[in-house]
A and B are shown apart, each in its own frame.
Chain A
Amino acid sequence: MLIPFLSILIGVAMGFFIQRVRASSPAMIARNLRLENISVIKFMALTIAVGMIVVYSLSLVIPQLLHFDVKPTYVVGVLLGGLVFGVGFGVGGYCPGTCVVGIGEGRKDAIVAILGGVVGALAFTLTYTTLVEPIIKIANFGKITLPEVLHLPSILVALVVGEIFIAVVRFLPTEFKKG
Chain B
Amino acid sequence: MTFAATAPPAAPPKATAFAAAESPSEKTPWVFYGILFGLLGAVSILVWGPIGVSGTYPRFIGAIMQFVDPAYAESNPYLKKMGSLLKPETFIVLGLLIGGFLGAKVNREKAPKCEMIHPGETTTGKRYRDAFIGGFLIIVGARIAGGCTSGHIISGITQLSVSGFIFGLGVFTTGILSAKMLSNRRAAGV
Is B15 positioned at the interface, with any CB of A under 8 Å from its CB?
no
CA A114 – CA B57 in complex, angstroms?
9
- Chain A residues within an 8 Å CB radius of B103: 15-20, 101, 104-105
User: CB < 8 Å: which of B21, B43, B109, B168 contacts A27?
Assistant: B21
Interface size, A (range): 35 or more
Pair A73/B162 contact, Cβ less than 8 Å: yes
Chain B residue at minimal CB-CB distance from A170: B3
User: CB < 8 Å: which of A55, A72, A104, A112 contacts B45?
Assistant: A55
Contact with B along A64-78 (1 / 0, CB 8 A): 011111111111011
Pair B170/A21 contact, Cβ less than 8 Å: no
Best-buried of B111, B160, B165 by chain A (most CB within 10 Å):
B160
- Whether A119 contacts B136 in the complex (CB less than 8 A), given A7-B88, A85-B145, A90-B174, comes out as yes
Pair A84/B166 contact, Cβ less than 8 Å: no
30 CB-based A-B contacts, threshold 8 Å: A7-B89, A10-B40, A11-B99, A18-B99, A27-B21, A34-B180, A40-B30, A43-B30, A43-B34, A44-B153, A44-B154, A78-B167, A79-B170, A81-B145, A82-B167, A82-B174, A86-B172, A86-B177, A91-B133, A93-B131, A97-B93, A97-B149, A100-B53, A104-B97, A104-B98, A116-B136, A117-B138, A174-B27, A174-B30, A175-B5
Question: 17 additional contacts, CB 8 Å, given A34-B180, A70-B161?
Answer: A6-B47, A17-B103, A41-B172, A44-B153, A46-B31, A46-B38, A47-B158, A50-B39, A81-B146, A84-B144, A86-B177, A88-B134, A88-B138, A89-B138, A113-B135, A175-B5, A175-B8
